[in-house]
Amino acid sequence: MSNEPLAGVNGSGFIRVEMVTVSVVVPARNAAATLGKTLESLLAQTFTGWEVLIVDDMSDDGTRMIAEEFDVADRRFTVLQ
């Protein structure tokens, strides 16, 4: 688990900093059909002090590409292989 603070702007325009307190490990092998929905569900959480480690186990169906899209879009996602 990382202790790096995550900064975000709340509804009133103030910067809010949250520490990463939850690490979620998502193992994925040929999970292109379900990975996007899985990661979207994490983004929908009201609690934001989390990080996600997506472990791609040599997929050959586009799983890595989907995981990398989330990694680029949100720094709380990390792709491992």
pLDDT score of 20? 83
pLDDT digits (tens, 9 = 90+) for 14-47: 665 668 899 999 999 999 999 999 999 999 999 9
Whether the CB-CB separation of 19 and 32 falls below 8 Å is answered with no
pLDDT score of 28? 98
For 23-32, letters b (16+ CB in 10 Å) and e give eeebebeebb
Which residues, 6+ apart, have CB-to-CB distance to 80 below 8 Å? Answer: 53, 54, 55, 56
CA-based nearest residue to 67, from 36, 25, 22: 36
pLDDT digits (tens, 9 = 90+) for 51-73: 999 999 999 999 999 999 999 99
Higher pLDDT: 10 or 76? It is 76
The C-alpha atoms of residue 38 and residue 54 are separated, in whole angstroms, by 11
